[in-house]
């Protein structure tokens, strides 16, 4: 019996039947069909008050946009259908507990950090974190300690961290309370998460995992293992990204051995809306059912399509797909189709724009040297072929010689942190010209989105390397966010008198 047959057999016999239930989605549908005289919110009154929404979204959807009701439970203190749906979600992800999150994994990361860290606690984390992690540190007051993050050659992509580096950093600083990891990075790189979890738990250090881009991992044996399945203490999954739920629908997953689940619920109730969208929550219920029942089959097709696309794109002159090397070769999310375009003399930003303007193809993101396509449950061979043909046409029609040797973009991998993000956030600040900011402490985050990795963060010493990176991004027309001066002529820095 091969591995795939074994996997399907385990799912069929032990878990399949109970995961056919969709308690929240079914209850919401049943309620929407009742003849209700609605004197509660929302104010559109089941689609009757705003006709244009009814026309564009459909009457059935508008009837299901409701607020907390006795029949439909309340996410702040779930006792009914939401509790049942969250328990099924926890089982699907091999976690002890699961919480619905309706403001994306951004909110889930804030809740995760606030649940386990406090002012002046130290957290070990890679530099290529999403900005939500940095903002979570502002909320909880913890101080970041950055891990070395390896770069993938001339592609300029941050990979992941090594277990040996995690162990070395923990040996150097016994005050580190938690390690925050990515599983995977935006481009699909993972690390030996199981070994890192063992290293951390031997020292009573918590393991927190941002799995925004790994919501599909537990549902196919050819994908990397998920965090909570390996024993991580808390993880966040963007089920809307690769699991099929509606946009913003995510989950916070908890293993109870080292985590106070009641405190997690308290933090969620503090940071999440009391009017969570039932459309988003019920989409998590439906997506979970689909992943357990159909995920293996759908992901087998997804993996095949991604491998097929890689083979075809690697035959196009000037292009190569981004592949794992060295330690990363052991485990990699093949569904993240990264393509290096430097050989065309084009930036990733230029190829991204060409794709949607000329070929009606929407990629996930560009950076200086690469573009990223996410292959997931709903992809079809015909669209994969459209993507391949578009790459062929760009390579033949838009190739430029002049930019092939451009200086690769480099992430500032080991910044000098002088103040905690929280202290920096609440300090007095001033705007200064770009060049005059060198040597000062940053008073703002600046990042290119996507992927949302900070180039500089509050409390960090601004170096010439930071200024060069920001100029490169501006010249390449990258979409920069969070900077106060939208022209990027000035930077917000902490006033000197705050530091005395």
**Tokens 């991004």, located at residue:** 473
> In 3-state terms, what secondary structure has residue 163?
helix
- φ, ψ dihedrals at 430, nearest 5°: -150, 155
| CA–CA gap between residue 21 and residue 89 (Å, rounded) | 11
3-state secondary structure (DSSP) of residue 373: strand
Share of the chain above pLDDT 90, in %: 76
Q: Which two tokens stand for residue 173?
A: 């600083």
Return residue ranges of the chain for CATH 3.90.100.10.
Answer: 421-498
* Cis status of the peptide bond prior to 184, with omega within 30 of 0: yes
CA angle, residues 371, 153, 155, in degrees to nearest 5: 15
Res. 348 pLDDT band, cuts 50 70 90: very high
Instruction: Output the six-digit token pair for 79.
Output: 């006792």
Angle at 382 between CA 381 and CA 385, to 5 degrees: 85
CA-to-CA distance for 98 and 89, rounded, in angstroms?
6
The CATH 3.40.640.10 portion of the chain extends over 14-293
499 has pLDDT over 70:
no
Packing angle, helices 348-358 and 381-397, rounded to 10:
120
Spatial contact of 348 and 366, defined as CB atoms under 8 Å apart: yes
Q: What are phi and psi of 66, to 5 degrees?
A: -125, 175
d(CA 188, CA 163): 17
pLDDT of residue 482: 79
Closest CA to 434 of 489, 494, 492: 489
Length of the chain: 500
Q: What is the pLDDT of residues 265-275, one digit of tens each?
A: 999 999 999 99
pLDDT at residue 12, rounded to an integer: 61
Helix 23-32 to helix 278-313 angle (10° resolution) is 120
Which helix or strand (DSSP H or E) is residue 358 part of? helix 348-358
Q: Judge whether residue 209 has pLDDT over 50.
A: yes
Question: Measured in whole angstroms, how far is the alpha carbon of residue 62 from the centre of its chain?
Answer: 29
> Could you identify the residue written with the tokens 């549908």?
29
Which pTM value belongs to this model?
Answer: 0.92
Query: How far is residue 235's CA from residue 224's CA, in Å, rounded to a whole number?
Result: 15
Residue 416 near residue 127 (C-beta atoms within 8 A):
no
Residue keyed to tokens 């956030």: 425
List, for residues 112-167, the tens digit of each pLDDT value: 999 999 999 999 999 888 889 999 999 999 999 999 877 777 777 888 899 999 99
Asked if 109 and 115 count as a contact pair (C-beta separation under 8 A), the reply is no
pLDDT at residue 238 is higher than 70: yes
pLDDT of residue 4 exceeding 50: no
pLDDT digits (tens, 9 = 90+) for 82-107: 999 999 999 999 999 999 999 999 99
Q: Which CATH class is domain 421-498?
A: alpha beta
**Phi and psi torsions of 334, nearest 5°:** -70, -15
Residue 120 DSSP label? T
**Tokens at 357, concatenated:** 């303007």
Specify whether the CB–CB gap between 137 and 130 falls below 8 A: no
In this prediction, residue 332 carries a pLDDT of 87
Question: Going by DSSP bridges, is the β-strand pair 157-158/151-152 parallel, antiparallel, or unpaired?
Answer: antiparallel
Q: What secondary structure does DSSP assign to 244-310, as a single string? A: -PPTT-EEEEE-TTS--HHHHHHHHHHHS-SS--HHHHHHHHHHHHHHHHHHHHHHHHHHHHHHHHH
Q: Is 213 helix (H, G, I), strand (E, B) or coil?
A: coil
59, containing H or E segment? helix 59-63
pLDDT band at 472 (very low <50, low <70, confident <90, very high): confident
What are residue 339's phi and psi, to 5 degrees? -130, 120
DSSP H or E run through 467: helix 464-475
Question: Are the beta carbons of 123 and 138 closer than 8 angstroms?
Answer: no
Q: Per-residue confidence at 413, pLDDT binned at 50, 70, 90?
A: low
**Helix %, strand %, coil % of the chain (to 5):** 45, 15, 40
Q: Which residues contact 453 (CB under 8 A, 6 or more apart)?
A: 127, 128, 129, 130, 131, 158, 411, 447
Q: CB neighbours of 80 closer than 8 A, spacing ≥ 6?
A: 71, 72, 73
In degrees and rounded to multiples of 5, residue 492 shows phi and psi of -85, 120
Fold of 14-293: 3.40.640
Distance CA 306, CA 299 (A): 10
């Amino acid at each position: 019996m091969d591995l795939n047959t074994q996997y399907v057999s385990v799912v069929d016999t032990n878990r399949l039947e109970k995961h056919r239930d969709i308690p929240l989605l079914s209850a919401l549908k049943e309620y929407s069909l009742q003849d209700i005289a609605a004197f509660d919110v929302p104010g559109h009154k089941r689609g009757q008050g705003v006709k244009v929404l009814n026309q564009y979204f459909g009457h059935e959807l508008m009837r299901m946009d409701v607020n907390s009701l006795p029949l439909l439970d309340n996410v702040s203190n779930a006792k009914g259908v939401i509790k049942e749906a969250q328990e099924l979600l926890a089982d699907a992800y091999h976690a002890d507990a699961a919480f619905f999150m309706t403001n994306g994994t951004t909110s889930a990361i804030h809740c995760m950090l606030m649940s386990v860290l406090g002012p002046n606690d130290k957290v070990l984390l890679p530099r290529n974190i999403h900005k939500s992690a940095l903002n979570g540190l502002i909320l909880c007051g913890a101080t970041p300690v950055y891990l070395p993050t390896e770069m993938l050659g001339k592609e300029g992509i941050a990979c992941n961290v090594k277990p040996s580096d995690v162990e070395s950093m923990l040996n150097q600083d016994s005050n580190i309370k938690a390690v925050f990891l990515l599983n995977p990075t935006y481009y699909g790189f993972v690390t030996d998460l199981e070994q890192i979890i063992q290293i951390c738990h031997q020292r009573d250090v918590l393991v927190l995992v941002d799995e925004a881009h790994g919501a599909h991992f537990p549902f196919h044996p050819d994908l990397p293992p998920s965090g909570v399945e390996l024993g991580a203490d808390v993880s966040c999954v963007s089920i809307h990204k690769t699991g099929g739920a509606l946009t913003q629908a995510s989950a916070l997953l908890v293993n109870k051995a080292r985590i106070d689940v009641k405190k997690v619920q308290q933090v969620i109730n503090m940071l999440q809306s009391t009017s969570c969208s039932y459309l988003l929550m019920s989409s998590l219920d439906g997506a979970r059912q689909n992943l357990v029942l159909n995920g293996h089959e759908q992901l087998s097709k997804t993996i095949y399509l991604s491998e097929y696309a890689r083979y075809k794109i690697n035959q196009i002159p000037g292009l190569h797909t981004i592949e794992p090397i060295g330690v990363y070769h052991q485990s990699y999310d093949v569904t993240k189709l990264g393509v290096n375009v430097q050989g065309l003399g084009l930036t990733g930003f230029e190829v991204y724009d060409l794709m949607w303007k000329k070929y009606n193809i929407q990629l996930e993101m560009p950076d200086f040297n690469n573009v990223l396509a996410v292959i997931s449950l709903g992809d079809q061979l015909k669209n994969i072929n459209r993507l391949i043909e578009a790459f062929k046409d760009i390579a033949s029609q838009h190739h430029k010689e002049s930019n092939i040797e451009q200086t690769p973009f480099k992430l500032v991998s080991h910044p000098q942190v002088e103040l905690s993000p929280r202290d920096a956030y609440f300090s007095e600040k001033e705007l200064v010209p770009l060049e005059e900011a060198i040597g000062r402490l940053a008073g703002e985050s600046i990042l290119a989105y996507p992927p949302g990795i900070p180039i500089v963060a509050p409390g960090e010493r601004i170096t010439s390397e930071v200024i060069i990176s920001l100029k490169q991004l501006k010249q390449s027309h990258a979409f920069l966010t969070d900077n106060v001066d939208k022209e990027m002529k000035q930077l917000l820095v902490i006033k000197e008198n705050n530091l005395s």
